Structure 1
Amino acid sequence: MLGNSRSVQTNQIGIHEDLEKIVARHLSSVFLKPISAHTQGAFEQALDFVQSKKQAVILDACCGVGDSSRNLAQLYPQHTIIGVDKSDERIHKNRTETDHNIILLRADLNDFYRLLAQAIKRNQIQIAQHKIYYPNPWPKSAHIKRRWHGAPVFPDLVSVCSNIEMRSNWLTYLEEFQFALNLVGIKSQVKPIQVEHAMTPFEAKYNASGQTIYQLLTV
């Protein structure tokens, strides 16, 4: 793996000044975007798969080509892994699924999170762990609302599971996510970690480039 990845470039200094206001607005409103048909179908497929397995579930959000889901399946063989990504091309790239406990799905997570939150309330599914590895940083200050903690779906995202792990090579992203978690009463720790076995291709590239890998874990 070539170590030629650039670090995140941003015009923002520290946590975004509008983040608290943005999160408060989303917490006091209902996200009414229509659910896409393809995500509805993917969610029903996930629900059927999970219910057939009768195992604890790990949600691997933004799973990309699915390497993180495969690694999670190896680490947690007694769990069912749901990997979700918006790109059909990424989901099916070099796909050689042999693990019995993985399902990879193309879906819009803005819709998937809401469907999942509703299903949890109906006791149809429970999520034991929630992984978000290397979300798109949207590093320009003007793009704060495209980051997960600035998005309208944030209340649903955090409601599906309080056991959250997020990794990024941009410390500010995790600090903002931690700030937003604090607003909903969820405590977390952010720290640099040493990568021995990369969970994703991004992690492998960043690590080979000598960049610091940061991890957020809820406590």
Structure 2
Amino acid sequence: MPADSRLPVSGQDAVHRHLRRLLDRHSRAPFRKPCAEHSRYAFADSFERYQRLAGGSRLILDSGCGVGESSIALARRFPDHYVIGIDQSAVRLARARRGTAGWPENLDLVRADLVDYWRLLRDAGGQLDRHYLLYPNPWPKIRHVGRRWHGHAVFPTVLALAGALECRSNWPIYIAEFSLAVELLSGHAATCEAYVPLAPMTPFERKYLAAGHPLWRCRVDLR
């Protein structure tokens, strides 16, 4: 773990015992599962819009954006960037579009499988300026470590997309593992910290703050 980590000791000690072995395997064996046809279509459509509407604008990816609250906030915060929010749920994305007045012109919400979208973006030569993974499913059971993003075979692709990468969670173990995976696979130092946002970016963040849960984040600059 990085020296400046402020995660509780219990979080550092609880890093999954098989995580290093998984990361070593993923670094030596690229993920080759074919991308689904609907993923190829969704990516091609959204990437064409990005190139046509944004030209050379720097790209922000909001992965697993849910109802798009965080994507909207990012688009307003970075008006000189183009923001793509991705989620696999059509219902959640439809809620975002219905409930927002003054839709940002630099924002696109896309229904797609993240594993496919990340690989297709890498294959197209896409590079990110910023990348957000806000409150991903933690898959807390021990046997599910390979389903956590940092334990998944696609994680080297996530790092290859570069950008200032930020992951947030209310589970310190997830952030401890995420940071370890970033450092082992990329060689970049990651910062782990407890934090309190000035304004919640997602419904989960709002719920956790209201319940008094400590929040944690990992940040690393891969640019």
Please give the TM-score of this superposition, normalised by the length of structure 1. 0.89
Cross-structure match for 1:116: 121
Give the distance between the partners of 2:80 and 2:49, measured in 1 at CA.
14
Pairing 1:119-134 to 2, within 5 Å after superposition: 119-120=124-125, 125-134=126-135
Pairing 1:1-219 to 2, within 5 Å after superposition: 14-52=14-52, 53-54=54-55, 55-96=57-98, 98-120=103-125, 125-184=126-185, 185-219=187-221
Give the distance between the partners of 2:202 and 2:76, measured in 1 at CA.
14
Give the distance between the partners of 2:90 and 2:148, measured in 1 at CA.
21
Instruction: Answer with 157-166 or 89-98: which moved more.
Output: 89-98
Deviation of the 1:116 alpha carbon:
1.1
Amino acid at match of 2:179: Q
Amino acid at match of 1:192: A
Structure 1 segments (4+ residues) deviating >6 Å: none
Deviation of the 1:59 alpha carbon:
0.5
Q: Which runs of 5+ in 2 are unaligned?
A: 1-12
Which of the pair is proportionally richer in helix? 2
Amino acid at match of 2:153: P
Deviation of the 1:189 alpha carbon:
0.5
Work out the number of aligned pairs and report it. 204
- Residues 133-190 of structure 1: per-residue CA shift (max 9 Å, x gap): 0000000011000000110101111110142011110011011011111112121101
Give the distance between the partners of 1:81 and 1:107, measured in 2 at CA.
15
- Residues 20-68 of structure 1: per-residue CA shift (max 9 Å, x gap): 0001101111212111112111111221121121211100001011111
Q: Is the 8 A contact 2:26 2:156 kept in 1?
A: yes
Instruction: Answer with 32-41 or 135-144: which moved more.
Output: 32-41
Cross-structure match for 2:3: none
Seq. identity, %: 39
Q: Which runs of 5+ in 1 are unaligned?
A: 1-12
Q: Is the 8 A contact 1:137 1:147 kept in 2?
A: yes
Give the distance between the partners of 1:196 and 1:58, measured in 2 at CA.
21
SS in 1 for 2:86: strand
Deviation of the 1:213 alpha carbon:
1.1
SS in 2 for 1:103: strand
Amino acid at match of 1:76: F
SS in 1 for 2:95: coil
- Residues 192-213 of structure 1: per-residue CA shift (max 9 Å, x gap): 1112211100000000100011
Please give the TM-score of this superposition, normalised by the length of structure 2. 0.88
Give the distance between the partners of 1:199 and 1:153, measured in 2 at CA.
25
CA RMSD of aligned residues (A): 1.4
Q: Is the 8 A contact 1:162 1:186 kept in 2?
A: no
SS in 2 for 1:73: helix
Q: Is the 8 A contact 1:195 1:207 kept in 2?
A: no
